[in-house]
Amino acid sequence: MDKIFVAKRVAKKLFETEAAVDGALVEAAELMSEMLKARSDVNTSLVFADDVQVKMMEAIKALSEARTAMVGVHTELNDAKLRLGIRTKMSGMDKPQEGASREQTIMREAI
């Protein structure tokens, strides 16, 4: 099989995995936000479910470490691609192009 097709297949999975880790990090952060808001909404003490908040922060930290590891994987795979003599950019597979306009992020007001 041609090296370029194999590299494109791996790149596609890499981009999907990176997006999945980012998505999980977003979901975890939103869950943390909802948990903190829920505690306030039911008017409980700050110590209520504090152990759960600590575990959630550990999960977010682990996801952040996974994201950092994926950045390392990306770099290593790029180096491997060059060692194989593949000079083609592996873009165009749902990966944002550099310089492309990004959708504006809308922030919600926390009450």
25-52 pLDDT per residue, tens: 999 999 999 999 999 999 999 999 999 9
Residue 94 scores a pLDDT above 60: no
CB hemisphere CA count around 98 (13 angstroms): 2
Taking 90 as the threshold, does the pLDDT of residue 103 lie above it? no
**Per-residue pLDDT, 91:** 58
* Contacts (Cβ under 8 Å, ≥6 apart) of 47: none
The pLDDT-based confidence of 14 (bands split at 50, 70, 90) is: very high
Within the chain, how many helices (H) and strands (E) appear?
2, 0
State if pTM tops 0.85.
Answer: no
The arithmetic mean of pLDDT across residues 40-65, rounded, is 95
